[in-house]
Amino acid sequence: MAKDKKAPRPKAQTPKGFRDYFGSDVSERADMLRAIAGVYHRYGFDALESAAVETVEALGKFLPDVDRPNAGVFAWQDEDESWMALRYDLTAPLARVYAQHRNDLPLPYRRYAMGPVWRNEKPGPGRFRQFYQCDADTVGAASVAADAEICAMLSDSLEVVGIARRDYLIRVNNRKVLNGVLETMGLDGDAQRDAVLRTIDKFDKVGEAGVRALLGKGRLDASGAYIDGVGLSETQVDPVLAFLTSKGTDAGATVANLRAAIGGSQIGTEGVDELEQMGALLAAQGYGPDRIVIDPSVVRGLGYYTGPVFEAELTFEILDDKGRKRQFGSVAGGGRYDDLVKRFTGQAVPATGVSIGVDRLLAALREKGRIGGPPLGPVVVTVMDRDRMADYQAMVAELRNAGIRAEVYLGNPKNFGNQLKYADKRNSPVAVIEGGDEKARGVLQVKDLVLGAKLAESASLEEWKERPSQYEITRADLVAKVREIIDQWA
């Protein structure tokens, strides 16, 4: 073929950290998101789709003392010199949308949003710079009924996509309870408080004894290095540990333990009351502790949120890279964040929401065998005689009109072997063959390619003879026979 010598050829390459999604990777994600959108819709949430591009000012990622947006976002200047950027999540655009359209939106405003977000970060294995988020938020509802509703909706969403009950658990905590605990400790200023928050965040990793040591004098870490502690006394540390380990045998016991841990603090009491109310509201809707549970050991995001915090964990085990069993872990999280819109309007607006990790949930569904496996491709009608393309097209039209995915081979038909290789690459269940001889006799050859592949892999000569994978049928039987073969493998 002719080569173009004029200019150096561009590289056919995705930019670093970006990838392409093919076939079922696209449709499986779309199906999952559509099922979740159905649940969100039933809960009264409305779809919102904002543009991928926001002003950097609205995103709030512009530092006043530097002359371009800080790391983390992809940003550029518009013709009028103003900075624009790709959204890095779906929450910042919600804040902008709500502030911009608040006179036209219902109050409270329940919305869901699904779509790609972009992060200008160093890509790594499995870490991409564009990925999907799937969020639902309620803006303008101060009541914990809004938080309870989000938890119930999250539970329904996980089940509707195929995560079985008892394969997941939604754990709920409350930032105000922690604030109550911090109050009882008599901490020395914000720095010490922040050090305590940072330490609590490590609870998942270092456990009870680890947190106790790190809040006190310090500890040796796994590498043998000594990590300095926050320097608190035992009396100060006790309430933190009481809080983190307060999960009882039932919600009543947990609440009693929490009340003890906060020692009468007003904000703490508010937090415990909220947890109790959420439990009651969820129970009234039929969501018991087999699905949603108060669990004060949930600390992820506790520093960021202002009230209830929730996390959905998948509780079944998978094998990690090294073949060791571990729990699948978190697939969604959220909570209450009441200062969302204040940046724009100066008015505090209560808000609560959840974000589902789309890629992690898809991975979980694959792990459970709910999706994945090579999907069956289209029926391939082969081309034995280039001049009879109209005949072959009529066959695929018939199949398609009967709802069967089908196509004519459109490559160079000279080499019949290439046509069967193509059908193989497409994972076609059936190849249809009509040569001149068949045409004259009014028949077709129909090959069961799935059975053919199975036989080729393992069959003895006897089995091979007994179970032919190719059938001669009359032309009129095309749709019926193809459907019969497909139905057996679908």
Taking the least distance from each CB to a copy of itself, the nearer of 286 and 323 is: 286
Decide: is 54 part of the binding site for a copy of itself (CB under 8 A): yes
Least Å from the CB of residue 84 to a copy of itself: 5
Decide: is 417 part of the binding site for a copy of itself (CB under 8 A): no
Q: Is 304 annotated as a binding residue?
A: yes
Least Å from the CB of residue 165 to a copy of itself: 14
User: Which of 291, 361, 306 minimizes the C-alpha distance to 173?
Assistant: 306
Residues 266-285 that bind a copy of itself (CB under 8 A): 277, 280-281, 283-285
User: Which of 1, 354, 309, 17 minimizes the C-alpha distance to 155?
Assistant: 354
End-to-end CA distance of the chain: 42
CA distance 218 to 296: 23
**What token pair was written down for 53?**
């591009």
Q: Which of 32, 48, 292, 444 binds a copy of itself (CB under 8 A)?
A: 48
CA distance 396 to 482: 11
Residues 301-320 that bind a copy of itself (CB under 8 A): none
DSSP 359-396: HHHHHHHHHTTSS-SPPP--EEE--S-GGGHHHHHHHH
Least Å from the CB of residue 4 to a copy of itself: 5
Q: Is 305 annotated as a binding residue?
A: yes
Q: Is 137 annotated as a binding residue?
A: yes
Taking the least distance from each CB to a copy of itself, the nearer of 80 and 320 is: 80
Taking the least distance from each CB to a copy of itself, the nearer of 240 and 408 is: 408
Decide: is 63 part of the binding site for a copy of itself (CB under 8 A): no
CA dihedral 136, 141, 143, 144 (to 10 degrees): 10
3 state DSSP class of 211:
helix
CA distance 327 to 167: 10
Taking the least distance from each CB to a copy of itself, the nearer of 245 and 427 is: 427
Taking the least distance from each CB to a copy of itself, the nearer of 229 and 289 is: 289
Q: Is 119 annotated as a binding residue?
A: yes
Residues 216-235 that bind a copy of itself (CB under 8 A): none
Contact window for a copy of itself (CB under 8 A) among 55-63, 215-223, 288-296, 467-475: 55-63
Residues 6+ apart with CB under 8 A from 435: 384, 385, 445
Residues 374-393 that bind a copy of itself (CB under 8 A): 377-378, 389-391, 393
CA distance 154 to 310: 10
CA distance 389 to 407: 12
Decide: is 197 part of the binding site for a copy of itself (CB under 8 A): no
Q: What angle do CA 175, 332, 109 make, to 5 degrees?
A: 75
From residue 322 to residue 361, the character string flagging contacts with a copy of itself as x (rule: CB under 8 A) and all else as - is --------------------xxxxxxx-------------
CA distance 239 to 244: 9
Residue 194 neighbours by CB distance under 10 Å: 13
| Count, residues near a copy of itself per rule CB under 8 A | 112
Decide: is 66 part of the binding site for a copy of itself (CB under 8 A): no
Decide: is 250 part of the binding site for a copy of itself (CB under 8 A): no
User: Which of 423, 424, 410, 406 minimizes the C-alpha distance to 479?
Assistant: 406
Decide: is 88 part of the binding site for a copy of itself (CB under 8 A): no
From residue 22 to residue 41, the character string flagging contacts with a copy of itself as x (rule: CB under 8 A) and all else as - is xxxxxx--x---x--x---x
Least Å from the CB of residue 431 to a copy of itself: 13
Decide: is 149 part of the binding site for a copy of itself (CB under 8 A): yes
Taking the least distance from each CB to a copy of itself, the nearer of 48 and 195 is: 48
**What token pair was written down for 40?**
């969100």
Q: Is 90 annotated as a binding residue?
A: yes
DSSP 161-197: HTPPTTSEEEEEEEHHHHHHHHHHHT--HHHHHHHHH
Least Å from the CB of residue 127 to a copy of itself: 14
From residue 152 to residue 191, the character string flagging contacts with a copy of itself as x (rule: CB under 8 A) and all else as - is x---x-----------------------------------
* Residue 123 CA: distances (Å) to CA of 115, 130, 452: 20, 10, 43
Residue stretches of the annotated binding site: 89-91, 119, 133, 137, 300, 304-305
Q: Which residues are annotated as a binding site for L-histidine?
A: 89-91, 119, 133, 137, 300, 304-305
